[in-house]
Amino acid sequence: MFVDEVDIHVAAGNGGRGCLAFRREKFVPRGGPSGGDGGHGGSVFVVASPHTNTLINYRFHPEFTANRGEHGQGSNCTGHSGENLELAVPIGTLVYEKTDDPGEPLRLLADLATENQRVLVARGGRGGRGNAHFATSTNRAPRRVEPGEAGEEKDLRLELRLLADVGLVGFPNAGKSTLIARVSAARPKIADYPFTTLTPNLGVVRLGDDRSFVLADVPGLIEGAHRGLGLGQQFLRHLERTKVLIHLVDVTASTGRDAGVDLDTVRRELQLFDTNLAAKPQIVAANKVDAGDATQIESLARRAADLGLPFFQVSGATGAGVPELLEAAWQRLAAHQSAA
């Protein structure tokens, strides 16, 4: 199961209580206070791990508590500090803190975009001081100690954003899964009905000469996707980190739609969801040209030319035109990285 958004509750450990004790040793009739400090409570960290790619572990286990610190002991012995708790999440996870006010926006704590990146989300409580700390020249037998501080508690939201260089977008059944299966080792479900893809897929495309990039295939978009229709709003955010977008458009007559209008619809949904997403470098690819309709291909080519976008004719099923499309994606990706 692919889970890319969860709400969890984390609680850091409480600090241990300071100890009230006095030395009682032979030949030391007035040994004085010897109460040790309490240990610090364990903190909670969120860590980006390359060994996980979904947040499913947190859907059914949303409560996490770090160990508390042990209480101080006599003979000036400090209690053990609680062990820190580390929560492993996929690389590309955003960590938000929820507030008590439902109308207030979430506060971003961290964007875990690099491997082993670590962020403190709940700090453990400080251990209390024992009575040995409070001895003075006028109070040689203090009976004062400090309780341990409470650890922080927070409600968090974890949201996964896939880390991909190039994203495939288009209507359902446009052939995105077929294309990513041809150019990479990814094996998404492929079938002849809409919304075959219910979760994003990632594949590594290798062009030779040590050139490669990560390609993302997200579920098909329909009109109104930015409002949550279909699967759009749930997965559009996975395109936010991509650097180049490939519009894959079905140019067969079986769709009953105009290919140029399909392109405009998807571009409009991207614009309405996030203007930065719509501003990314884009490529238009007429897919299924092995069974394509000449009128549809012409309409799409004309619309791409009007928008000033590169246009390619490909077939994910036969592989025709695919190498040229991938090379163009690489060139635009390299140009984007050079400009960054």
Three-state DSSP class for 254?
Answer: helix
The DSSP symbol for 270 reads: H
pLDDT at 229: 45
- Common-topology check for domains 1-161 and 166-339: no
pLDDT at 235: 64
Return the domain boundaries, the chain: 1-161, 166-339
Task: Report the distance separating Cα 303 and Cα 137, nearest Å.
Answer: 89
Whether pTM exceeds 0.85: no
**Nearest residue to 173 via CA among 202, 189, 193, 187:** 193
Report the run of H or E that residue 236 belongs to, with start and end.
helix 232-236
pLDDT at 336: 80
Cα→Cα distances 68→12, 76, 80, 81, 322, Å: 8, 20, 9, 7, 58
**Nearest residue to 287 via CA among 248, 327, 244:** 248
pLDDT at 225: 44
Task: Report the distance separating Cα 102 and Cα 181, nearest Å.
Answer: 42
Q: Are 4 and 238 in contact (CB under 8 A)?
A: yes
> Which residue type, as a one-letter code, is found at position 267?
R
Report the run of H or E that residue 155 belongs to, with start and end.
strand 153-160
| Inter-helix orientation angle 322-339/176-183, to 10° | 80
- CATH for 1-161, options being 2.60.120.280, 2.70.210.12, 3.40.50.2300, 3.40.50.300: 2.70.210.12
CATH code reported for the domain at 166-339: 3.40.50.300
> Which residue type, as a one-letter code, is found at position 318?
T
pLDDT at 2: 59
101 Cβ partners below 8 Å, 6+ apart? Answer: none
pLDDT at 221: 65
The residue written with tokens 């955010």 in the block is 237
pLDDT at 220: 61
Backbone CA torsion sign across 265, 269, 271, 272: positive
Q: Tens-digit pLDDT profile for the chain (340 aa)?
A: 457 789 999 999 999 999 999 988 777 777 889 999 999 999 999 999 988 878 888 988 999 999 999 999 998 999 999 999 999 998 889 999 998 777 788 899 999 989 999 999 999 999 999 999 999 988 988 999 999 999 999 999 998 887 788 988 888 888 888 888 888 875 544 444 344 444 677 788 888 777 888 888 877 665 554 444 445 455 677 788 888 999 999 999 888 889 999 999 889 888 888 888 888 999 999 999 998 899 999 999 999 999 999 999 999 889 999 999 999 999 998 888 777 5
